[in-house]
């Protein structure tokens, strides 16, 4: 399960194609970048991770805006809780990288950032939000397996 809610990489690639076109490069020169755009969609994010790690089972990319990582983790935990197999492992991952200025420009134009540049989370004086970058992943397994293992060893 991969939480993903923006795709700056796609915007970077699209700009490259436009620049390459204006520079008069041929189709053969551009085709690799165009292909990369096709594989930069949200759907491929979880599938690339699954493929590279040799994972089987559900492979979902989840876009719930700022809650994408939380929802991906919830879905993976729900799957692990159901424990549909002795060796079941569920991976929840999410990443946000600011690689392009387009969303920042959009949010700035709509006055979505705080006027003083400070984020005031959960404060009555909050007047916007700030963008951030981060990445994380959690590997989960059924609780029964964790408890059984901790009963026989000192570590879960």
pLDDT per position as a tens digit, 15-39: 888 888 888 887 777 777 777 777 7
Q: State the pLDDT confidence band at 52, using cuts at 50, 70 and 90.
A: very high
What is the model's pTM?
Answer: 0.73
Task: Locate the domains of the chain by residue range.
Answer: 2-6+43-97+133-152
Dist CA 55 CA 46 (whole Å) = 10
Q: Are 5 and 25 in contact (CB under 8 A)?
A: no
| H helices, E strands: number in the chain | 6, 4
Token pair of 119, please? Answer: 């984020």
Residue (of 141, 139, 146) closest to 1 by Cα position:
139
pLDDT at res. 10? 82
- DSSP annotation of 26: -
């Amino acid at each position: 399960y991969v939480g993903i809610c923006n795709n700056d990489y796609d915007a970077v690639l699209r700009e490259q194609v436009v620049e390459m076109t204006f520079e008069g490069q041929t189709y053969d020169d551009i085709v690799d970048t165009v292909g990369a755009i096709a594989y930069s969609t949200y759907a491929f994010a979880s599938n690339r991770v699954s493929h590279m790690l040799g994972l089987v089972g559900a492979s979902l990319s989840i876009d719930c805006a700022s809650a994408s990582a939380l929802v991906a983790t919830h879905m993976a935990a729900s799957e692990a809780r159901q424990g549909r197999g002795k060796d079941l492992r569920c991976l929840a991952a999410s990443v946000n990288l600011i690689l392009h200025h387009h969303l920042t420009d959009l949010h700035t134009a709509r006055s979505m950032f705080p006027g003083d540049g400070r984020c005031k989370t959960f404060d009555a004086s909050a007047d916007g939000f700030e963008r951030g970058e981060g990445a994380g992943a959690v590997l989960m397994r059924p609780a029964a397996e964790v408890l059984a293992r901790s009963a026989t060893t000192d570590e879960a």
